[in-house]
Structure 1
Amino acid sequence: MIELRDYQKKAVRELKQKMIDMLNDFEDRQKLIFKAPTGAGKTVMVSTLLDELTRDLPMNGQCRYSRVAWVWIAPNKLHQQSYRSMRNFFSERRSLRPVMFDECDHVDGLHPGDVLFLNWESINKDNAVMIRDNEQNRTLYELIRKTKIEQHLPVVVIIDEEHMFAGRNAKKSEMVLQAIQPHIELRVSATPVTQSYHAVLVKRQDVINEEMIKKGIELNPNVKSSKEQSELTVNQRLLKKALDKRKELAEAYKEYGINPLLLIQLPNDSSESMSSKDKTIAEEMQAYLEQVCDISVANGRLAVWLSKDKSPNLQNITHSDDITEVLLFKQAIALGWDCPRASVLLIFRELQSMTFTTQTVGRILRMPEQHFYKNDILNYGYVYTDLSADMISIVGDDMNYISTLYANRKKDLPNITLRSYYTDKHGATRNRLGSQFRSIFYKTMEREWEQNPLLLFSAEDFFEDDGETEGADEAKKKEADMDAKIKLNRYNAKRHGVQTDVSRILVAIPKDTPLTGDSGIVEITDKARLALNASELQNLFTLFCRKNVGGFSKFDSTPVLQGAIESALEEYLQVFSMDVPKVVLYHQNRPRFEELIRKALVTYEATLKRNAKEVTMEYQQSVWQVPETRLYNAAMVRTTEGEIFNHALYPYFEQITASRPEQEFARWLDDKMEYVEWWYKNGDEGKQHFAVPYTDSGSRKRCFYVDFIVRLKSGTICLFDTKTKGSDADAPEKNNALLDYISSYQSTGKKIVGGVLIKDEGTSNWYYPGGVIENTDNIDGWSALHLETL
C-alpha cells in the first residue's frame, strides 16, 4: 500500500471537495484543472482520488450522486502505462475496476467504479473502430449512452497530459468530448493549457521538500572556454563533458547500486521523423561513443529510441542497475516515461533557440529512491547544451504545437447562412531566387560597400607576347594593380564595418547556471566560449543563408544565396570559400551581411515585379455559418468566463490585440440580451471566416472581414465593423461594399442591416451611416443604433 506524502494528501482533499461540488452542479462539461510538476506522482494522486470518491460517495449525504463511471484518456500509449499502474494500485483495495474497451460490459454500459482507459489516437480519427458504427453496436458512444441512461451514472473523464490535447487533432478530440458530454473533465498536466475557475495546484517546492524530485538543475557545469579550434566539434566536446559528469555520478551512486543514465536528445524534439540535422548529430554521437568510449548498442552500454530505430535493450533501461549508460532519443520518450536513474541530459537545440520545455528538463528531476543523498551532487540534475542565448526561457511543453483553445457553438443555436468570399491569385511567378539574383547581389555590394570589380584577365592576356621582358613587366604591373584594388576594396569594406581578417568564430554557451525546472526566464551571467571547426562553420553558414532568403522558398533559394555570397567575396575581396563562413558569421560582420542581403532582395523583388505578368485577383464564393468549433491560439487570446454570456461560441476568447471599440461593442451587445439572439466576433483572415468583396483606395481587390455578425430575436441579421473617426483610410470603401452586399439580399426576404460603426464619445451611442459615405471623419447624419427597432 502506497503512503501518500503531505502535499499529495492535500491535493487529493482539494480535488475531492471540488469534484463533489461539481457533481452537485447540473451543468455538463465542467472543467477541473490539476497541475502538478513532473515527478510529483500525478497518477498516484488521481488514483487515490478515484478510490476515495468511489468509497465515500455512497455514504456522503452532500452529493446527489452516489456512484460514478470513469473514463481515462491519454495520448499515445500512456493509457496502457496508467492502466497497468492502476491495476497494481487497486490489486488489494478492489474499489475500482480498470478496464480496456474490449473488457467492458457492452450490454449494460460501464458499471459503478469502472475506469475505462482509452488513448486519443483510437477515438479522434474519422475511421476509428471505437466510434465507427458496426452491426454489434459496440461503439464508445453507445457504451456511454447506456452508462448514462441505463446505469444512471454521471461520467467523469480524466484527460491525462492535458497539454497534449491542444495539439494538431484538438478539434477532433473536442468533438469526441462533445459527443461523450461528461459531467466533469479532470484535466491533468504539469503544463495545462485550459483555463478554468476550478483548479488545484501542487507547488514544485512542496515536492522538493518531500525529496521526491531533485533540488534543481545545473546547466553546462564546469565547461571551460577554448579559443583554439579543436579536432572535436562543439557537440563532441559537450558530449565528453556529459560523459565525464555521468562517470562522476556513477562513482557516487555505486554504494546504492544505481547506474546513472545520460540522455542525449536530438534537436527537433517536436516530431518523431528524423530531419537531416537529426541524422547528422545521431551519426556523430554514435561514432564518437563507439570509437572513443567503447559505448555501443552491441555491448549494451548504448540504447537508441528513435521512430524507426529502437535498440533491443530498451526493455530494462528503467531498472536502477541496468548496464545501459547512454540513451539517444527524440520526442517519443517524452510522455509518461519514468526513469529515475536518468541524471544527465545532453540536449541539442535548433540554431538561435532560447527555450527548454518543462517536460524536457523534468526527465532528469526524479529522485531514484525518493529521498535525498548525503553527497549533494546526487541531489541535482545536469544539463549540457549547445544553446547560445543571454536569456533562456523554460516554457510549458506543447510538443511544438501552438497551444490551442477551442470554443463550441452553443447547443440548439439558430444558425444563419451567408455568402462569403475569398481571393485567389493568378499569374504569380515562382517564389524562389533565380539566376538574376547573383548579378543584383554584386551590384548591391558595389553600391553599398564601394566595391570595385577585379578584372583578373583582359582579352590580351590570352594572346602570346613576343617580348618576354616586356610581358613580365606588364604582368608585374597588373599584379600590382590587382593588389591595389584588393586593398582598396578591403579598406572600403572595413569603412563600412566589415572585417575580412577573421581567424576563428567562437560560440558562447551558458556555464554553471542553476535551473529549477519551473516555467520562467533565466538570465545567463556566465558563459564559456568554444571555437567552431570548419564543418560546424559550414553548417552554420548554410543555416544563415536559409534564414536570410526572405519570403522566398528556403529549399530552392538557400544555395542561390550561398553561392552569390561565396563568389562575391572571392571576386571582390579575395576571401576564398574556406574562409567565407568565418567572415560572414563574425559577430560584427553578420548584421552588415544581413542588411546587404535585405537590400539585394528588395531590388530583386522589384525586378521580378517589373518582369512578371500582372497578377490578378479573383473572388471565390463560399457559404458561411457559425462554426461548430473554432480554435484559438492560447498565446493570443484572453478568457472572458464570467464576463461575456451571449456569444455564439462558448467560451468567448477575446484577442489580446482587440481594439478598444471592439472590446466596448462586444460588451454593449452582450448587455442587450433582450434583443440579441446571439452575436459572433468574426476572424480577420482566412477563407473559414466571413468576408465581403471590396476594392480598396488603391484600386486593389481585397476581402473585408466584418467584425461582428449579430442575429436579433426579430430575425434581423446585423453586420457591423467598429471604427474610430478617421482611423481607417479604406473605411468608406468597406462600408459601401458592405451596402452593396446587403442590397444583394433584398429579393430573398432576408433582412440584413450593417455598415461601419463608430461610438460617439459624447453620448456613448453607436452610429452607422445607413448609406454611402466618403469618409469617417464626421458622423453627422448617421443613424443611432437601436436594436429594438431593427
Structure 2
Amino acid sequence: MIGLRNGLFEFQEKCVQFLLDATSSGDKNTVIVKAPTGSGKTLILIDYIDKYLNNINSNISFVWLCPGKGNLEEQSREKMIKHLPSRSTKNLFEVLRSGFEAGDTTFINWELVTKKGNKAITDSERKNLFERIADAHRTGIQFILIIDEEHSNDTRKAKDIINSFASLYTIRVSATTKSNKLANFYEIPEIDVINSGLITKALYINEDVEASITIDDEHKYLIDLANKKRKDIADEYKKLGKDIRPLVLIQFPDMSDELIQHVENILESIGYTYENKLLAKWMSDSNDKINIKDIEKNDAQPLFLLMKQAVATGWDCPRAKILVKLRENMNEDFTIQTIGRIRRMPEAKHYDNELLDNCYLYTFDEKYRQSIKQEITNAFDVKRVYLKEKCKTFTLEKQLKDLDFDGLGERETYQVVQKFFKEKYKLSTKKKENRIIFESEGYVITDELIRKARQGKFIKTDTILDTSAGYYIETRRTVDTHKHGIELLHSINEIKSAIGIKQGKLRTILERLFRNNSSNKDKLLDLNTKEFYAFIINNEQKLKEDFVKATSQMYVQNSLVLQPKKSIFKIPEQELIKYDASETDVIDMLSNVYEGYQSSTLVDGIRSLPERLFERYCENNDAVDWVYKNGDSGQQYFSIVYVDALQKQWLFYPDYIVKLKNGDVWVIETKGGEKKYGQSKNIDPQVLNKFEAFKQYAKEHNLKWGFVRDKNENLKINNTVYTESLQDEHWKPLSSAF
C-alpha cells in the first residue's frame, strides 16, 4: 500500500480506479490520462501499479518511459522507492544486466535509447534491450507501458521500442494530451487539483507592469519586477514562520548566449551571482549546470535559476513561484507547459494568503501555445502502401528550379514593389501626405517600438490559450539602433522568408522606399533612422502581407526568362500514408495507384474537402484507370516551376495525376472553392502565377490539365482563364472534362 499519511485525494483515487477498470476489462489497448501539472500523477501511477499487481495480475512487468529533460525518470523512481519500498524498481542499465521480471517497474529515460549520438548506451546495448524484451516474452511475462509526458516522444525509434514490448496496455499521461477515438480517456479536473491545495489558486500574468510606460531594457524591467515579487513572497513566508525561499525561474529562447550573458550581468548588479550561490543555471546541455544540487528543497540557497526548455517538462520544484520568460524577437510563442513549474504549492496546501497562494509570470510574449505534436493531436496512424504493377512504367517530365537564375535585379525589384504601394494606397510624391495615408491604413509611424503585454488572473491553465481572456496593455521602448539592430534584422528576415529575396537586397529596397538618408527621389516616406527602425519592426506583419501581394501579382510566364531544369518523374514505388483507424465502413479505393489505399485516408485533417470530393469522384468514374495523389514537397514528387512578379522561381506540386482508360493523362490542382454568397475559400496568393505556369507546361507537353474547386460539394474545373468567382463561364462541371 502506498505510504502517505492521509492517503490519496478523492480525485486521485477516482483516477486510480479508472486505470484499474480500463486495464482489466477495458476494450481498448491504449489509455490516455490528462493530468494537470501538480495533480500528483506520479503518486497516482504508483498506487495504480501496486493495486494492479495485488488484485489483477502479478505476472506483469511495468515499464515507465519518461522524457529525458529534467531527470524525470530519476525523480519518479525515487518517489516510488520512498512511497512504495516493497516493490522492485529498476533503471535501464539494471534491466540490461538482469532482464525484466514480473512485478518490476523499470524507469527508462527516452533519450538514452532514442536520441541520435547519445553515448550513454552503446549500439550493442540498444540491441540488448530488444533481446531482454524478447527473453521476457519467452518466459510468459507481459508488459504494461506507462508513457509519461506522452507528447514528448513521437519518433520512429520511440514507436519501434513501444511496439517491441507488445504491451497488454499502454497508459499515456500528460498535462496537455487530448482525447483519442482509439483510446479510453480520462481527465482529472484542474479545479479539483486547485481545491486540494496541491497547486496555486491562480496565475497572475505581468502583475505591476505599467501601461504606456517607456522601457529602456525590457529584460531588466521584467527581472526587477520579478525580484520585487520574490522579496514580497519571502517576507510573507517569514511572517508565517516558514523556512521557504521562493525561487525565480528565468527561461531563455534556444539561441541566446549573448542574452544569457546580459542577464547574468543584470543579476550580478543586484547581488545574485554563481559565486555567492544565489544564482543557479540549468541549460539543455547536461554539462551546463551550476548550483543545482538539491535546488528543489524549500530552503535551498539559489534564488534565481537560469533555464532553457531543459526543465520545462516534468521537473518538480514546489518553491518556484515566479517565471520570467525572455525573448529575442517579437514573434516568439510562449509554451504554457513551463507554467507547470511554478504552479505547485511548496507544502501541498494553501495559506489563505493571496500573495502565497498564487504564482506569477512576467513576459512580453503575446502568443501562447501548447507543445503537442500535430500527429498525436490528430490521432492518425501511418501505414506503408505499394505501387500497383501497371503504374510502374508511367513517367512524366518534371521541372526543377534553375539555381543560376536569381530573379529581377535590385532596381527592377524596387520598381515592382514601389509601383504596388503607390497604386494600392494611392500615394504621391508628397511625403507628409503619404505619411497620413499610411497611418490611416493601419501602419504605425513613430520613433518608439510599441508592444502589447498581456495581464490578468488565470485560474485554469488552459484559459491562457484563450486570447480573449485577460486584457492587453501597451508598452513602449525608445529605439536604440545598437540594441534593436537584431530585431530589425529579424523583421527583415521575416519579410524576406515570404518573398524569397536576399536580406541585403530587401534592406536596400526598404531603405529606398522609406528612409530619408536615401538619395532616391521616388521614396514613399521620409523617415529618420529611429523612425525607420520602428517602422519596419512595428509594421513587420503588414509589410510582409503587402510584399507578398506585390510579388503575387500575375507575371506572364515567359519561356525566354524561365528555363527550368528538367528531370523524369516516376511514381514512388512505396509511400507512407496517414489514415484514421477509427473510421467505420472502410472500403478499398480501387482507382488509386497504391494497393491497400483505403477510404480511411479521405478524412478531414488528412485531405481537404476538394481533395476528398475529387478522389471519390475518380473512384466512381468508370473512365478512370488510376489516380495518384502527389506529395507537397520533395524531389521524389512531380513539380512545375512558376515565376512571381519579381521573376523569382518557386516549385509548385499539383495535387493529382489521373490516367484515363482511353490513355489520356490529366494533371489536376485542387483549390478551395466558394462558400455561400460567393465568398472564395482559396487562400493561395500565388494562384494566378501557378495557373499560368501550369497552362504553359500543359501546352508544351500536350497534357490535359485543370484547377478544380468545390461549391456545394460539386466540383468545377477551369483550364482557360482563372477567376476567383465560380459563377464565371470559365468554370465548368468536372464531368464535362472526364
Tell me the TM-score normalised to structure 1 length.
0.69
- Percent sequence identity over aligned pairs: 21
Task: Give runs of aligned pairs for residues 257-272 of structure 1, distance below 5 A.
Answer: 257-266=243-252, 268=253, 271=254
Q: Which structure 2 segments of 5+ residues have no match?
A: 590-595, 621-625, 643-649, 660-665, 675-686, 715-729
Partners of 1:194 and 1:735 lie apart in 2 by 46
Task: Give runs of aligned pairs for residues 358-757 of structure 1, distance below 5 A.
Answer: 358-388=336-366, 393=368, 395-398=369-372, 405=379, 407-409=381-383, 416=388, 418-419=391-392, 423-429=398-404, 435-436=410-411, 440=415, 444=419, 447=422, 488-495=430-437, 497=439, 502-514=446-458, 516-518=460-462, 520-523=465-468, 524-534=470-480, 535=482, 537-549=484-496, 550-552=498-500, 559-561=507-509, 563-564=511-512, 567=515, 570-571=518-519, 575-585=527-537, 597=547, 612=561, 614-621=563-570, 623-627=572-576, 630=577, 640-642=582-584, 644=586, 648=596, 654-656=603-605, 658=607, 682=629, 684-687=631-634, 705-706=655-656
Which residue is equivalent to 2:95? 104
Match of 2:132 among 140, 143, 156: 143
The structural deviation recorded for 1:199 is 1.5
* Residues 707 and 162 of structure 1: CA distance in aligned 2, closer, same or farther (over 3 Å): farther
1:646·1:670 contact (CA, 8 Å) conserved in 2?
no
Query: Which 10-residue stretch deviates more, 730-739 or 568-577?
Result: 730-739
* Residues 649 and 301 of structure 1: CA distance in aligned 2, closer, same or farther (over 3 Å): farther
SS in 2 for 1:371: coil
SS in 2 for 1:207: helix
SS in 1 for 2:471: coil
SS in 2 for 1:200: strand
Q: Which has the larger radius of gyration?
A: 1
The structural deviation recorded for 1:111 is 2.0
Match of 1:287 among 265, 269, 284: 265
Which residue is equivalent to 2:145? 157
Partners of 1:439 and 1:610 lie apart in 2 by 23
Query: Which 10-residue stretch deviates more, 559-568 or 191-200?
Result: 559-568
Is 1:88 the equivalent of 2:30? Answer: no
Partners of 1:331 and 1:347 lie apart in 2 by 11
Is 1:218 the equivalent of 2:204? Answer: yes
The structural deviation recorded for 1:243 is 1.2
SS in 1 for 2:529: coil
* Residues 500 and 173 of structure 1: CA distance in aligned 2, closer, same or farther (over 3 Å): closer
The structural deviation recorded for 1:442 is 8.9
Which residue is equivalent to 1:73? 65
Q: What amino acid maps onto 1:99 in structure 2?
A: K
Match of 2:104 among 91, 110, 114: 114
Is 1:340 the equivalent of 2:318? Answer: yes
Which residue is equivalent to 1:237? 221
Which residue is equivalent to 1:185? 170
Q: Which structure 1 segments of 5+ residues have no match?
A: 59-65, 453-487, 672-678, 710-718, 742-754, 765-773, 783-790
The structural deviation recorded for 1:54 is 0.6
Partners of 1:158 and 1:670 lie apart in 2 by 42
The structural deviation recorded for 1:213 is 0.5
Match of 1:313 among 268, 277, 291: 291
RMSD: 5.1
SS in 2 for 1:258: coil
- Residues 475-512 of structure 1 show CA distances to partners (whole Å, capped at 9, x for unaligned) of xxxxxxxxxxxxx4334443554899835344231234
Is 1:247 the equivalent of 2:231? Answer: yes
Tell me the TM-score normalised to structure 2 length.
0.74
2:248·2:320 contact (CA, 8 Å) conserved in 1?
yes
- Residues 23-64 of structure 1 show CA distances to partners (whole Å, capped at 9, x for unaligned) of xx6x8xx21111101111111111111111111125xxxxxx
Which residue is equivalent to 2:33? 34
SS in 2 for 1:359: helix
Q: Count matched residues.
A: 655
- Residues 104-123 of structure 1 show CA distances to partners (whole Å, capped at 9, x for unaligned) of 3878x522112222232333
* Residues 720 and 154 of structure 1: CA distance in aligned 2, closer, same or farther (over 3 Å): farther
1:234·1:532 contact (CA, 8 Å) conserved in 2?
no
Which residue is equivalent to 1:713? none
Query: Which 10-residue stretch deviates more, 202-211 or 315-324?
Result: 315-324
Q: What amino acid maps onto 2:81 in structure 1?
A: R
Partners of 1:194 and 1:351 lie apart in 2 by 34
- Residues 367-400 of structure 1 show CA distances to partners (whole Å, capped at 9, x for unaligned) of 0000001322111111111124xxx54x333389
Partners of 2:178 and 2:563 lie apart in 1 by 46
1:260·1:343 contact (CA, 8 Å) conserved in 2?
yes
1:704·1:734 contact (CA, 8 Å) conserved in 2?
no
Which residue is equivalent to 1:171? 156
SS in 2 for 1:21: coil
SS in 1 for 2:297: coil
* Residues 263 and 736 of structure 1: CA distance in aligned 2, closer, same or farther (over 3 Å): same
The structural deviation recorded for 1:174 is 1.7
SS in 2 for 1:655: coil
The structural deviation recorded for 1:249 is 0.8
SS in 1 for 2:24: helix
Partners of 1:435 and 1:327 lie apart in 2 by 48
- Residues 678-707 of structure 1 show CA distances to partners (whole Å, capped at 9, x for unaligned) of x99956424598879999xxxx99866559
Partners of 2:175 and 2:433 lie apart in 1 by 57
2:191·2:460 contact (CA, 8 Å) conserved in 1?
no
Query: Which 10-residue stretch deviates more, 422-431 or 239-248?
Result: 422-431
Which residue is equivalent to 1:462? none
The structural deviation recorded for 1:543 is 2.8
SS in 2 for 1:327: strand
SS in 2 for 1:377: coil
Partners of 2:637 and 2:515 lie apart in 1 by 50
Partners of 1:585 and 1:52 lie apart in 2 by 59
1:693·1:737 contact (CA, 8 Å) conserved in 2?
no
2:61·2:105 contact (CA, 8 Å) conserved in 1?
yes
1:691·1:706 contact (CA, 8 Å) conserved in 2?
no
Partners of 2:510 and 2:697 lie apart in 1 by 45
1:131·1:139 contact (CA, 8 Å) conserved in 2?
no
Match of 1:207 among 187, 190, 193: 193
Partners of 1:518 and 1:531 lie apart in 2 by 31
Is 1:44 the equivalent of 2:27? Answer: no
SS in 1 for 2:59: coil
Which residue is equivalent to 1:747? none
